[in-house]
Amino acid sequence: MTRATLTAIAAAFCILTACNNNVYYSEHINVDEDGWNMYDEKHFNVDVDDIMHTFNFYVDLRNTNDYPYSNTFLFIKTTFPDGGIALDTMECPLANPDGQWYGKQSGKYIDNRYFLRKNVIFPDMGKYTFSIAQATRDTNIVGIKDVGIVIEYATK
C-alpha cells in the first residue's frame, strides 16, 4: 500500500470512531487484494462482560469506486458462548440507481455503516464470535477493502 492509501484509511477510521466513548467493541479486517471469496469468513471475537446494558450493532464496509455493483449482501453468523448460533442475511446498499456512492468518500474509498441490531442485550457473559461472509452471486468480488463490526452502548 502506498503512503497516501494508508493515510486515507487511517483518516476514514478516525472519522468513523473519533470522539465516541460509547464504543464497546470495534474491529475491522482487511479483505484480500485479489477480492473477497465467498468462503473467506471474517471472524470477530468479542469477550462480553456486560449483560446489563443495551447495545447497538453495526457493520462497517469500505469499498472502492472499482466495486462493480450498487449493493452487496452479507451472511452474518453469531456464535454464542453456549455454542448456540444465530444467522442473518444483510443487504448493504452502496450506491443509488444513478451510480452515486452512498457513505463517506475519500479518494477512491467509500465508508458505510449499517445498523444490524438495535437495543440488544447480551444474554450471557463470555466469548461471542461474529462471522461475516460476502453473499453475492459471485464467488469472488473485487472492490471491498475491509469489513468491520462496531458495538456501541445504546443511548436513551
Mean pLDDT by 10 residues, the chain (156 residues): 46 48 96 95 97 97 95 98 97 95 96 96 97 96 97 90
Sheet of 42-48: strand order equals: 42-48, 126-134, 71-79, 85-93
Instruction: Locate the domains of the chain by residue range.
Output: 3-153
Distances (CA, A) of 135 to 5, 40, 74, 119, 138: 27, 11, 5, 26, 8
Backbone dihedral angles phi then psi of residue 12, each to the nearest 5 degrees? -65, -40
Rounded Cα–Cα distance for residues 130 and 46 (Å): 8
Rounded Cα–Cα distance for residues 39 and 64 (Å): 21
- 41 alpha-carbon distance from chain centroid: 12
What integer pLDDT is reported at residue 156 of this predicted model? 65
3-state SS, residue 55? strand
Rounded Cα–Cα distance for residues 55 and 87 (Å): 18
Strands (E), the chain: 23-30, 36-37, 42-48, 55-64, 71-79, 85-93, 104-106, 109-120, 126-134, 140-141, 144-153
Q: State the CATH architecture for 3-153.
A: Sandwich (2.60)
What integer pLDDT is reported at residue 132 of this predicted model? 98
